């Protein structure tokens, strides 16, 4: 992937002590993605114009507007990459919630959700399997070492799905919630089963980040930073193993620790 095309040049002053030096720098492109559902505009989202089809699928499934990738009949992306049209079987109630029960979430990038207040009932996640701590540590290290756009700009978040056979799928975006929607959407479009997987995310584990894992039936979510109290409560309630402060060989297990083979 040519990530250079998503970079924009800027001229800045770098200050060190009392001295300022003019410097050519780069930052990330931010675009408005318009999502149309069954011919009607559903929502606009600010994002990096990468993996727009996956972004749309992941978002709609996160909000329970679409229950399954099998419900999608047609998906097209405009030539400029800023419009996604989807024809699908939808859950009208969840779509209505998206318009009437909007909540500005704490994930960066101006994320909005309409289904974080318990309007969707999700069964407790009882998936049983174990992952070794050293696997978590190894994948966390790779997760940060292989973040190209972050190295170039320092301006993006990343999400990664790790499957038990060692397969990994990654996405980057200006918003943590966008990155999760994209990476899960990519998995769904590829026909990958995420019900036995680990979701690695950058940044804090707030409630809406955990809720996305819940909605996609992902049983383990990992970050090297902290969860919020509501994030911990959400994970506990829905059967998600929540891991924070995963750094080196150390990590904190907050909920449903049995999936980690210690």
Selecting among 47, 108, 155, 187, the annotated active-site residue is 108
pLDDT of residue 109: 42
pLDDT of residue 111: 45
For the segment 84-93, what is each residue's pLDDT rounded down to a tens digit?
999 999 999 8
pLDDT of residue 105: 45
pTM above 0.85? Answer: yes
pLDDT of residue 208: 87
* Grouped pLDDT means (10 residues each) for the chain, 262 residues: 80 92 91 94 91 96 93 96 96 81 45 49 89 96 84 87 96 92 96 96 90 93 95 95 95 97 92
pLDDT of residue 145: 84
Report whether 37 contacts 86 (CB < 8 A): yes
Give the separation between CA 149 and CA 130, rounded to whole angstroms: 32
Report whether 101 contacts 113 (CB < 8 A): no
Q: Where are the beta strands (DSSP E) in the chain?
A: 7-16, 19-28, 31-37, 40-47, 72-77, 83-88, 103-104, 112-113, 157-163, 168-173, 197-201, 220-222, 241-247, 250-255
Instruction: Output the CA–CA distances (angstroms, integers) from residue 20 to 11, 13, 14, 15, 152, in the order listed.
Output: 12, 6, 5, 4, 22
Give the up-direction half-sphere exposure of residue 68: CA atoms within 13 A in the CB hemisphere.
Answer: 4
Active site residue 47: no
3-class DSSP state of 79: coil
Backbone angles phi, psi at 108, to 5 degrees: -70, 165
pLDDT of residue 144: 87
């Amino acid at each position: 992937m040519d990530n250079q095309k998503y970079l924009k040049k800027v001229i800045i002053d770098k200050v060190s002590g009392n001295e300022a030096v003019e410097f050519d720098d780069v930052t990330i492109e931010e675009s408005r993605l318009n999502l149309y559902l069954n011919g009607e505009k559903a929502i606009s989202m600010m994002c990096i114009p990468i993996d727009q089809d996956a972004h749309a699928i992941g978002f709609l499934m996160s909000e329970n507007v679409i229950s399954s990738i099998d419900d999608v009949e047609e998906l097209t992306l405009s030539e400029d990459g800023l419009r996604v049209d989807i024809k699908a079987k939808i859950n009208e109630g969840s779509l209505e919630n998206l318009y009437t029960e909007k909540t500005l979430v704490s994930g960066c990038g101006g994320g909005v959700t309409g289904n974080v207040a318990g309007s969707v009932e999700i069964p407790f996640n009882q998936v049983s399997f174990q992952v070794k701590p050293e696997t978590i540590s190894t994948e966390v290290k790779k997760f940060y070492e292989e973040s190209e756009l972050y190295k170039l700009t320092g301006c993006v978040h990343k999400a990664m799905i790790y499957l038990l056979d060692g397969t990994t799928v990654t996405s980057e975006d200006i918003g943590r919630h966008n990155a999760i929607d994209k990476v899960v959407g990519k998995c769904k479009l590829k026909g990958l089963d995420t019900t036995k997987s680990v979701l690695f995310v950058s940044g804090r584990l707030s409630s809406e980040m955990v809720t996305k894992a819940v909605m996609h039936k992902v049983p383990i979510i990992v970050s090297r930073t902290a969860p919020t109290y509501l994030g911990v409560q959400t994970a506990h309630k829905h059967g998600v193993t929540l891991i924070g402060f995963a750094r080196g060989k150390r990590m904190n297990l907050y909920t449903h620790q049995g999936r980690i083979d210690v």
